[in-house]
Amino acid sequence: GAGVSQSPSNKVTEKGKDVELRCDPISGHTALYWYRQSLGQGLEFLIYFQGNSAPDKSGLPSDRFSAERTGGSVSTLTIQRTQQEDSAVYLCASSFSREGPQHFGDGTRLSIL
């Protein structure tokens, strides 16, 4: 499809394991955002990529969280040594430019047992 694609849609893992979440933005979109959303809550900003600029990592909650964006396209969010409080929906969004509206993926629902 032409939208933002996230995988997996659901992930259940044991505490202490590492997880990788993938985001495939809309082709040609230069901006890419990762957010975390707990049940019934608002969006918590994690990280922002804009073109070839250094990413804005100011929202990452701890050094267990990291993200990459390869070739200005696909992004991977990695959470190491997962904790139960990491359980949430992780949303990815992209936009054509810094100014444009964001288009969101359907999210990855992460559950840490």
Determine if 106 is a binding residue for other proteins (CB under 8 A).
yes
Determine if 110 is a binding residue for other proteins (CB under 8 A).
no
Determine if 43 is a binding residue for other proteins (CB under 8 A).
yes
- According to CB under 8 A, which one of 93, 94, 110, 112 is a site residue for other proteins? 93
How far are the Cα atoms of 25, 32, 33, 34, 110 from residue 56, in angstroms, in the given order? 17, 11, 9, 11, 23
| Residues near 3 by beta carbon (within 8 Å), at least 6 away in sequence | 26, 103, 105
Q: Output the six-digit token pair for 24.
A: 């495939």
Which residues lie across from 95 on neighbouring strands? 31
- In whole angstroms, the minimum distance from the beta carbon of 36 to other proteins comes to 12
Determine if 67 is a binding residue for other proteins (CB under 8 A).
no
Binding site for other proteins (CB under 8 A): 33, 41-43, 45, 48, 56, 89, 91, 93, 98-99, 101-104, 106-107
